Structure 1
Amino acid sequence: MNGQLFISLLNPGIGLLFAAAFFLLWLNRREAYVAYASAAYVATAAAFLIQDVAPALPMELQRLPANFGFLLTGMLFAAAIIKRYALPVPWRAMAVTIAVAMAFFTWFLLVQPDIPGRIYSVSVGAGVIALMIVRALWPLDKPHLIDRVLFWVSALSAANLIVRPVVILTFSGGFDDYVGFQQSVYWTTVQFSQAMVSIAAAISLMVAVAIDMIAELRQQVDDDELSGLLNRRGFEAKAGAALRRSADDGLPAALLIADLDNFKQVNDSHGHACGDAIIAAFGAHVRAVGPDGMIAGRIGGEEFALLLPGTGIEAARQLAEAVRTGLAGACGDQIPPALTPTASIGLAANVPGTGLSQLMRQADEALYVAKRSGRNCVRTFTPAPVLLATA
């Protein structure tokens, strides 16, 4: 195998390896954007094989499918990145871009042969598609490093495709034939830069897939499927962190613990399906009336906790009353008409130095008071008075 053939097989080999890797990821995570990434690397491998390895056709017609493959690669990879963020994929704009690029390429291949013209046609077309990724991701928040990496890899790819041919062709001049073209500095930079960008893009998107999978697993571990809220583990982790942030910022916080009244009797009299419907309705009701930033979890069979960072005791009491009074209406026709579910709620406010476990004990004490007061009411934790010793 001579050196030129080895270089020619470099990009197809990289493409097929990444296509297989993304396909295996897709088998375990059936997300459309992963399938688009796999298809993109199949397209780039096929394009390079047609361009550099396959036999030449009359009038250099193999250039048409090869360069269409390059543009298709850009479109599929753009779709992969954009789809990962659940944004609408600009299929029509990308298809129009490919059609225009291929029209110019065909003109410079068959009507007015010009190698630089063909280079500009495909490079600018692919660069415009890469800019569509940049435009789609620009307004988004990028909370993770990988989000910023994907954005800048897309921007780098667009610059590589648009700026590189202009710079190199300006200083090196044109080409008389493809023999000179494939032995030129320009083609060497294409092979090298394309390989580097391809690897960077693939690794970045693979890391993004891994992060998405970890986030999904973490969500499954921390979430309560029935109520749609956090489970106890998830609530304690997130509420503890939020409570510490509130303390560090000097902000108040309040904690509500709600317990569905006579829940065992509901299950015994109406069945567990009815009880499950009440739990699900309570979770949906809490999510509907709760403020932004609220952390809510199901911490027991029929017991729920709501942490309200940055919220004072009066606002927390108003929310507790809204949760209590709206429960029956939230259940709607999901339960028997004769059944009116109620909830008792204990409320506690943090003071400097109060941790989550202590705040939960205080809200629990208030909840017991609500239960002893006849249920279906809200009670606030009141610290016991401090008795001063007398001489």
Structure 2
Amino acid sequence: MGGGAEFILAINLLVAGLLAAAFMTISFNDVARAPARWLVFGYLLGMAYFAIEFSIPIFDNARPAVVAGFAVFLGATIAFNGGLAHKYGVAPRWAPMLVFLFVATVAVYFVQDLPRQSLARMMAYQLPYAAMQFVGVGIVWSSRQRRDWLDHALMAVLTASALQFVSKPFIAHAMGGWGVNPQAYLQSNYALVSQSLGTVFGLTIALLILVILVRDVLAEATSKSETDTLSRLLNRGGFERHAELAMRDAVRKGIPVALVIADLDHFKSINDSFGHASGDRVIEAFAGFLRDAAADHHVAGRIGGEEFAIILPGTNLAAARLFAEGTRSAFGALPIDCLPADHRCTASFGVAELHPAEGFSDLLRGADEALYQAKGSGRDCVRISIGSIAARQTAVANAGPKISGRG
């Protein structure tokens, strides 16, 4: 059995190095840089711990190596928690964790004087690891970021890992101990079980956090490809994709959905009179105004040079018109940097509501037609799709009382 434990320890050393290299590669991406670098540091400490475990049999007095190995591995779990904190936007509690590292290391140094097979000695060695795994669970749980099933799976595996550290003293006791001395640890039956459990949980946690970081990198890349750099709203492709998803979700829930399209009035004359930098500032100002007016479940985008759109799930035609009127009025009163103080910019708006059996292209076409009506009516106004008005009147008529009689 001893050879088996040594083989698994060697595998753990190799795996820790490969994981450090994997996280180092991920760290070159901006969105994963800070968490990945802390994880690299953690897995390098893990490699150092496994190297120390290998060296223990060569020492006559193994106490310094045992204590150093404990401190290094506990430091690795702290570095891992630092990576989690950066990933999930939680302030790392370095001071408490470092104090805990010092106190736990001192405790492990002194419990070496206890009988080797005593439960207290084994628990002093394993419980600090469990505590750091529970801290990792708390970091993910306390995050304000939106969590999906991968994040919940990570919390579950971290919890299971913490519990296996708690159980190890009892497993060692049931299997007859962890060797008559530190030098004999790798020859014990418990060492094979302990190293195997460590491999399973350590690799599962590492792969989960690696997948989570790759998910974030891909999401960031997708977001950049769908974002208009000037307005910082969705570009046309991104808007159409997200708007169609929002529309389908609204239809599934049986709630109304409306679309508002806006076009900045006389935008070419702004560029011609005041320069393209001023035109860009107008676009930025309107985009910022639209972004502030939008709720979290709304989808806003810049779908053309000076054309913008926002889809409003859960909003009917009347409420969407009020939204457009409020935006039109407030933007018209907004002073714009780089323009004369008395100059005001305006926008025209078209509004449409989704009809039964229609798709996103129909909704877009209805709002676009209403926008052209607004531009043809002198601009700086809101117009509603004729189709939306007709559909609303039909719905009201169909919902009215029906009178039947007998002839």
Both proteins in one fold, TM over 0.5: yes
The answer on whether the counterparts of 1:50 and 1:62 sit within 8 Å (CA) in structure 2 is yes
- Deviation at 1:79? 1.9
Instruction: Decide whether aligned partners of structure 1 residues 385 and 202 sit closer, same or farther in structure 2, where only a CA change above 3 A counts.
Output: closer
The answer on whether the counterparts of 1:328 and 1:342 sit within 8 Å (CA) in structure 2 is yes
Structure 1 CA distance, aligned partners of 2:327 and 2:50? Answer: 62
Aligned to 1:24: 25
Instruction: Decide whether aligned partners of structure 1 residues 296 and 385 sit closer, same or farther in structure 2, where only a CA change above 3 A counts.
Output: closer
Aligned to 1:12: 13
The answer on whether the counterparts of 1:142 and 1:148 sit within 8 Å (CA) in structure 2 is no
Letter in 1 for 2:10: L
The answer on whether the counterparts of 2:255 and 2:314 sit within 8 Å (CA) in structure 1 is yes
Give matches, 1:234-253, under 5 Å.
234-253=238-257
- Deviation at 1:376? 0.8
**Range moving further from structure 2, 222-231 or 45-54:** 45-54
- Deviation at 1:312? 1.2
- Deviation at 1:139? 5.3
Matched, 1:78 2:81: yes
- Deviation at 1:208? 0.9
Matched, 1:217 2:221: yes
Residues 41-77 of structure 1, C-alpha deviations (whole Å, 9 max, x = no match): 1001101101223642645311222111110111111
- Deviation at 1:3? 5.9
Matched, 1:192 2:192: no
- Deviation at 1:97? 2.2
SS of the equivalent of 1:149 reads: helix
Gaps of 5+ in 2: 392-407
The answer on whether the counterparts of 1:11 and 1:195 sit within 8 Å (CA) in structure 2 is yes
Structure 2 CA distance, aligned partners of 1:217 and 1:176? Answer: 55
Aligned to 2:125: 122
Q: How many residue pairs are counted as aligned between the two chains?
A: 384
Structure 2 CA distance, aligned partners of 1:334 and 1:149? Answer: 51
Matched, 1:268 2:272: yes
SS of the equivalent of 2:386 reads: coil
Residues 290-311 of structure 1, C-alpha deviations (whole Å, 9 max, x = no match): 2331111100000001110110
Structure 1 CA distance, aligned partners of 2:303 and 2:106? Answer: 63
Aligned to 1:47: 49
Structure 2 CA distance, aligned partners of 1:166 and 1:334? Answer: 73
Residues 311-332 of structure 1, C-alpha deviations (whole Å, 9 max, x = no match): 0122111111121122245554
Aligned to 1:207: 211
Letter in 2 for 1:203: L
Letter in 2 for 1:150: L
Letter in 1 for 2:316: G
The answer on whether the counterparts of 1:157 and 1:197 sit within 8 Å (CA) in structure 2 is yes
Structure 1 CA distance, aligned partners of 2:335 and 2:209? Answer: 43
Identical residues among aligned pairs (%)? 33
**Range moving further from structure 2, 57-66 or 222-231:** 57-66
Residues 141-186 of structure 1, C-alpha deviations (whole Å, 9 max, x = no match): 7643321221112111111111222343256357532244332222
The answer on whether the counterparts of 1:229 and 1:297 sit within 8 Å (CA) in structure 2 is yes
Instruction: Decide whether aligned partners of structure 1 residues 6 and 136 sit closer, same or farther in structure 2, where only a CA change above 3 A counts.
Output: closer
Letter in 2 for 1:19: A
Letter in 1 for 2:35: Y
Q: TM-score, normalised by structure 2?
A: 0.88
Residues 208-250 of structure 1, C-alpha deviations (whole Å, 9 max, x = no match): 1110111011101111121121111011111112212222222
Instruction: Decide whether aligned partners of structure 1 residues 81 and 300 sit closer, same or farther in structure 2, where only a CA change above 3 A counts.
Output: same
Aligned to 1:91: 94
Q: TM-score, normalised by structure 1?
A: 0.91
Instruction: Decide whether aligned partners of structure 1 residues 19 and 221 sit closer, same or farther in structure 2, where only a CA change above 3 A counts.
Output: same
SS of the equivalent of 2:89 reads: coil
- Deviation at 1:28? 3.7
Matched, 1:226 2:227: no
Structure 1 CA distance, aligned partners of 2:19 and 2:129? Answer: 20
Instruction: Decide whether aligned partners of structure 1 residues 321 and 163 sit closer, same or farther in structure 2, where only a CA change above 3 A counts.
Output: same
Letter in 1 for 2:291: R
Letter in 2 for 1:16: G
Aligned to 1:389: none
**Range moving further from structure 2, 189-198 or 142-151:** 142-151
Instruction: Decide whether aligned partners of structure 1 residues 28 and 385 sit closer, same or farther in structure 2, where only a CA change above 3 A counts.
Output: closer
The answer on whether the counterparts of 1:247 and 1:352 sit within 8 Å (CA) in structure 2 is no
Letter in 1 for 2:347: A
Aligned to 1:66: 69
The answer on whether the counterparts of 1:363 and 1:381 sit within 8 Å (CA) in structure 2 is yes
Letter in 2 for 1:382: I
